[in-house]
Structure 1
Amino acid sequence: MDAPPRRRSIARLVGPAALVAAVLFGAIGTARAHEEYVVDEEREVAAGEFLREALTDPLVVGPLLAGALVVLAAIGSYLAVRPAQRDVAAFRAAMREYTAYVPWLLRISIGIPLIGAGFGGYFISPALGLEARLLQVALGFLLLFGLATRLVALLTLAAYLVGLAIDSVLLLQLEFVPGTLAIALLGGGRPSGDHVLQRVAGASGTVYGRFDPIYDYARDFQERIEPYRAFLPTIVRVGLGCTFVSLGLGQKLLRPGIALAVVDRYDLTAVVPAGPELWVLGAGLSEVGLGLALLVGFFTRASAATAIGVFTLTLFALPDDPVLAHVSLFGLASALLITGSGPYAVDGWLERYGADRGADEPDADVSGTA
């Protein structure tokens, strides 16, 4: 029997998506790191040598294993007991009230960094000193106002991909891919210029409605794309997960020299009495683990909240790190707090398993936005 059309269409996306992921992760080794925003030079440390020495040091391996066991024990205990289910349900219901603002949240998360990059004299990432002021400021303001939103989002994605082809350092802002794709899927939402113009064009007897050239086409397109809005959380969490894995590998585990330089510059071993190797390995493995949790949709809201905490700590711990470089990450993580995991996530299986055991079933995750 043939597969349903929707399943076949999804299957056709798997191959290209896997190819894109392979290309992105293949470029990790050449990407520079967020740490380059705050240090000028890195230590000459080979990744293989660093990992070999660190993983044979009991003072490094011991705390890492202990931390992993604590995390696993906490997750296992929660799944076994499932405490505060009514609180979880109430939280999700509260998050659902913000659903209409997800398009606006995503627009400002990409628009503000674009405007900052334009006036700052760099291209998307502070690590790429390529000035494109007019382009970035124009795209940024159009996203903020929500004018021609889907088209502008796709143009922003195209500009990012061109920049990535020029310099792989733009992998530092990999979150621009899921961010712009999510905006292109949702459109401007409310509040936005697109929404206002659409309402005026659709009102009976308006002068603008007689001259608007795209109202009918836009309405038909929205109807065709409506079934795919359910995949918004999937796009955001997979993209954010890939970003975390890329940063954890490219910044720390595969390039420890730059991370060790940051530890030295800010004397982080005095903040937490741990060796530099433990700092680098702990941070790198934590980012990779968090990224994988987001990729598979495991405790998605908790992972998103953890990501926001990581960004916040980074801003306080590294005062020289440009805040605008993290705005898009904040926005995507905040969107996941609202939407939850979406389709094709471990969370969905865990909820069904909890319901089968007779636990209070939480409110369903938000899968799309108006």
Structure 2
Amino acid sequence: MYLRWARRVLAGATGATLVASPVAAHVDYVTEDGEGGPAVVDFLLAVLSDPLNLALLLGGAVGVTVATLGWLRYGDHLADVTVTRRTLRSYQPYLGWLLRLATGLPLMGAGFSGYFFSPVVSVEARIVQVTIAFCLLFGLATRLAAVAGLLTYAVGLTMHFPTLLLSSEYVAGFLGILVVGPGQPSADLLLRRLVVTDGTLMSRFRGVTTVGDLLSRFGVEKSVAPLLIRLFLGLNFAYLGVTEKWLNSGRALQVVEKYGLTAVVPVSPEMWVFGAGLGELVVGLCILTGTFTRSAAGAGFLILTTTLFGLPDDPVLAHVTLFGLTSALLITGSGPFAVDRTLVPRLRSRIGLQDAVDPSADAATPSD
């Protein structure tokens, strides 16, 4: 009975996320700059002074708490969860390919569309962006292309700060590619096999030091990739939630009015915007700290998917990197320095189910 009840709570929480997420987009992409909205203090007072809003927030907090306890108590008893984790981990050989596609495709689109990483930064840098994207998509000089991408973004950020922070997920993509490498399939893997095979023309270059060799010498292993992705992806979600929703509520309120979101869920526009920002902030902090990482990444993926179908004129290409990075965390889990490795196992132990973990699961992230 308790297991069935926990499933219902989880389903309800998921449904609430899906309903509230269409406003959780890059609001600058779908609205025009106009008159400023209410001041931050006035906006927050308008939300928190309404008893109905307070009741909704309290109910949501209770629901999330119950769902979390239910997940800790029963999640590892579900065979579906065990099989899902095992299957996701089996995709590790294709992680580099996933990151390359998720970063290269939108970068290629940005170059041909005439904007610089973010659709709201109109800078012509076609040759640079398309060249980097080409190398990433084909897996040619992949790590060098990732370094070039990081440097290009850094230079652009100095000239378009803080606007370019809207696309800070590119940093996570470039760093992930730099650490993981090209993966398979890729041109670099083909060249590598030619180099290590005796009798080939490429074998003459066997002694050439690569970026991967340098990283290995400095002790940078592929296992650190989830940490780097988490840091910048989590910061991106949290930043968008706070700055685009709470600190720029006027533009966010335009989104609510433009798409008639109050007809979907009959709450005040201010509550819509506050809830969307809160959802992005919580997802971002969970990803950043490695707390229930796969679940948080899955929630982020659902938010992006609902935005895709809920906002018809939102530039989909600009969100491809976010889709790819959340998918990458579904595969890798939290990685090192995460709450999933420290606090979560202790919580499960207190509940008394430390023996319920599937022995074939990743011991480092059993409950993410």
Q: Deviations over 1:221-261 (max 9, x none)?
A: 36436652211111111211101100000100111111001
Task: Determine which of 179, 185, 199 is the counterpart of 1:185.
Answer: 179
Equivalent position SS for 2:221: helix
CA–CA distance in structure 1, aligned partners of residues 228 and 54 of structure 2: 35
Equivalent position SS for 2:254: helix
Equivalent position SS for 2:312: coil
Matched, 1:197 2:191: yes
Task: Determine which of 165, 170, 178 is the counterpart of 1:171.
Answer: 165
**Aligned twin of 1:37:** 29
CA–CA distance in structure 2, aligned partners of residues 86 and 193 of structure 1: 38
Contact 2:286–2:293 at 8 Å: present in 1 too?
A: yes
CA–CA distance in structure 2, aligned partners of residues 345 and 292 of structure 1: 11
- 1:214–1:54: structure 2 CA closer, same or farther, 3 Å change rule? farther
Contact 1:47–1:254 at 8 Å: present in 2 too?
A: yes
Question: Which of 161-170 and 99-108 deviates more?
Answer: 161-170
**Aligned twin of 2:226:** 233
CA–CA distance in structure 1, aligned partners of residues 292 and 38 of structure 2: 35
- 1:177–1:365: structure 2 CA closer, same or farther, 3 Å change rule? farther
Contact 2:144–2:211 at 8 Å: present in 1 too?
A: no
Q: TM-score, normalised by structure 2?
A: 0.85
Give the partner amino acid of 1:323.
V
**Aligned twin of 2:8:** none
- 1:37–1:219: structure 2 CA closer, same or farther, 3 Å change rule? closer
Matched, 1:112 2:109: no
Contact 2:135–2:141 at 8 Å: present in 1 too?
A: yes
**Aligned twin of 1:358:** 355
CA–CA distance in structure 1, aligned partners of residues 83 and 206 of structure 2: 44
Q: Deviations over 1:1-45 (max 9, x none)?
A: xxxxxxxxxxxxxxxxxxxxxxxxxxxxxxxx8212111134432
> What are structure 1's unaligned runs of at least 5 residues?
1-32
Contact 1:123–1:130 at 8 Å: present in 2 too?
A: yes
The CA RMSD over aligned residues, in Å, is: 2.1
Aligned 1:71-150 pairs, distance under 5 A = 71-82=64-75, 84-150=77-143
Q: TM-score, normalised by structure 1?
A: 0.85
Aligned-pair identity (%): 46
Equivalent position SS for 1:51: helix
Contact 1:34–1:251 at 8 Å: present in 2 too?
A: yes
Deviation, structure 1 residue 188: 0.9
- 1:97–1:365: structure 2 CA closer, same or farther, 3 Å change rule? farther
CA–CA distance in structure 2, aligned partners of residues 351 and 237 of structure 1: 19
Matched, 1:66 2:59: yes
Give the partner amino acid of 2:362.
A
- 1:366–1:115: structure 2 CA closer, same or farther, 3 Å change rule? farther
Give the partner amino acid of 1:235.
L
Task: Determine which of 125, 145, 152 is the counterpart of 1:152.
Answer: 145
CA–CA distance in structure 2, aligned partners of residues 147 and 117 of structure 1: 20
Deviation, structure 1 residue 352: 6.1
Contact 1:41–1:261 at 8 Å: present in 2 too?
A: no
CA–CA distance in structure 2, aligned partners of residues 237 and 85 of structure 1: 26
> What are structure 2's unaligned runs of at least 5 residues?
1-24
Contact 1:125–1:173 at 8 Å: present in 2 too?
A: yes
Deviation, structure 1 residue 109: 0.7
- 1:226–1:204: structure 2 CA closer, same or farther, 3 Å change rule? farther
Deviation, structure 1 residue 357: 2.9
Deviation, structure 1 residue 214: 6.3
Deviation, structure 1 residue 298: 1.1
Q: Deviations over 1:155-205 (max 9, x none)?
A: 101111111111121111111111111111111111111111111111101
Deviation, structure 1 residue 64: 1.6
Aligned 1:189-268 pairs, distance under 5 A = 189-210=183-204, 212=205, 215-217=208-210, 220-221=213-214, 223-224=216-217, 228-268=221-261
- 1:162–1:78: structure 2 CA closer, same or farther, 3 Å change rule? same
